[in-house]
Structure 1
Amino acid sequence: MSGAVRQSEGYLVKTASYDLLHIDYLRPGTDGFLNRIKAAQPGADIFFHTMQTYDEPLDPSLLIGDAAYVDYVLAAYAKGRKWSELVVEMHDALVHCGDRPPFIGPYLKNRNIYLTGSCLNLRDQQIDLVNLSTDVQDRICEDDGYRNYHLNGVGYQIYGHWLLDFLPRIFLAERHARSLGCKAHIFLPHPPKFALKLLDILDVGCRFSYFPQQGPLWFDRIYAVPSVKLGLRYSSHFVGETFARLKTHRTENLLGAERILIARRKPPIARNFAILEAALKNLDFKVIYPEDYSIQDQISIFKSARVVVGEDGSAMHNVGFCDAGAKVIITARSSRRNVWHVSVAQYAAVRLAYLASAVQDDGYHIDIPAVLRLLEGP
């Protein structure tokens, strides 16, 4: 069957509440929560598979420096410490593949419509019927020995998001399919070059198919793989698998630098970064532009470093490759106050200081005396 899905209707439903790709934080034993989700969209074939569950208390001894940031982190971790990996199974579902990020939604038998966009906590007052503008291709079924998975989300073109989000979700799909005695067939937008390199290095045991430029895809059955995160905090266990698997592919570190300063060529860059660079060079720091090195070399450089200083950004997620006990100092704009780095630091058991500027992008300056004080400390 080709043409519009269920040609007599041909409608999608769009709401502004919960997105299937952002069931971010689930604790073990959340049957009540899952039942509420199911009750919100009666008639949909949606099933929830809980994989690993784990307990992650914060080790506050790894946080050094800024007391305000430490309090911010403590408040984030006070929201809970038990996590579950979740896979969402949907039958007769659409994945839209236009210019916007793909969305995914099941068919509601009792309404003769498809859910799409942010759809899990569906409320009548939030329903917006959207007519399908592009014909849907024939329904995609699973090949023998494979299960179909969907992967996409915010930050798809960003290196750090692949380390913390997309690679862990691929590994989860791989493990989930294996638990069913199958392999994972993952449908995703065409990855950026660095992501293709990461997948090549890791030799992931999955099949990948890239979305077409236009039109929804119609799946007989598909699995969504959410991130295990809560707002700006990731599960350390969830992201740790990425660093552990990539670490085995490091090269010999030819730099031999125990102190490194991570530099960037693209804005935003602190206005006084050159002053910081000069000061740290006098303290035997090696200046590193990560894009000048292969991924394998970057892993080796960070693994050998005992002290790492750099501005908040994707490259600083590489501290997950550091050995336990390393000191990491991250400087940031005031608008960049997140807990992602803590999630990575907790996995790697490195000591983390996070220094936020008093201003945002315009006029952003690093507090160089504070950096130097932290370097002098234990």
Structure 2
Amino acid sequence: MERKVESRSFRDGAVKKPYSPKILSKKSSTFFGIRSEIPRSSHLLQCHARTQRGRLRELRIRCVARKFLYLWIRKTFGRVFPSKARFYYKQRILRKVFEEWKEEWWVFHREWKLCVRADCHYRYYLYNLMFQTWKTYVHQQQDMRNKYIRAQDHDAKQKMRQAWKSWLIYVVFRRTKLQMQTTALEFRQRSILWVWWSEWRRQLGQIRVGHILFASAVKHRALSLQLQAWSRWQEQLLRVQRERQNVVSAVKHYQHWQKWRSLKAWLEYLQVRRIKRRRNEMAERLHRVTVLQTHFCDWQWAWQRRESLHAHHAQVEMLARRMVLRQVFTHWKHCILFSLSALPQPGQHELSSL
């Protein structure tokens, strides 16, 4: 109903639409025809009419703009204007704030009274409790003082009794300890003398055994050196004899003889080393074997090289002999041909037939 009333009031308050420009032009033309009949002297009236027309046009534009503005406001915000809605919203907020403040003020005022009463009651309770605890503390201190005095007397008596008992025990223990120390010192001196005597005897036996072993080692060393020198002398003698016997032998026999001699020398050396050092490690044997193998390989390589050189020399000598023989034969042939060239033809024929 309010919206209908407002719309009606708005319609009633709205300005009626003026005439269209065509109608105004027609009216102005008719009016101009009428005015043509009026003399030209009325220039002021025309200016006044023009100003009235401009005012009417402005009023018409303002009315149309106001009309469309109100229509847009109504469609956008509804029947109620934003200013009224804003004023109503502010009043409601102020009322709510005032109610909340009033409630909080009342609660705070009531709580303050209760807090004051509670503080008074709590202080009275604390004072009473402190007085009661002070009374109990005084009674406890008196009881503790009496008990402490009794305990001190009893402790002094117990300490004196314990000190007397411990002194008696200490005297007995001291006497027994002195006796044990004297016996321990005597036993220690005897044991030290016995240990040094046994150590002296053991060292004396070791020295004697060392002298005996040293003498036997010297003898064994001398015998081993003699045997080694004898074996070397024998080896040298055999080598000289064999060299003298096999000077004119062939190269193959010399090679075989050299291999056999080196093998025999190696076996003799190995036998001597086994007799002399039976307790040596396998590493030395392997090292010596490898050294011997390397020397043997070197010797074999040198011998093969010597053999190849001898064979080469033999081939060279053979070729030299052939060349000499060929030269001698060619020289002889040339001499014969030269000598035969001086003979008559039949002899030459016979020689050619031969």
Normalised-by-shorter TM-score class: under 0.3
Higher strand share goes to which structure? 1
Name the TM-score, length of structure 1 as normaliser.
0.14
Name the TM-score, length of structure 2 as normaliser.
0.15
Higher relative contact order (CA 8 A, sep 6+): 1
Greater Rg over alpha carbons, structure: 2
Higher helix share goes to which structure? 2
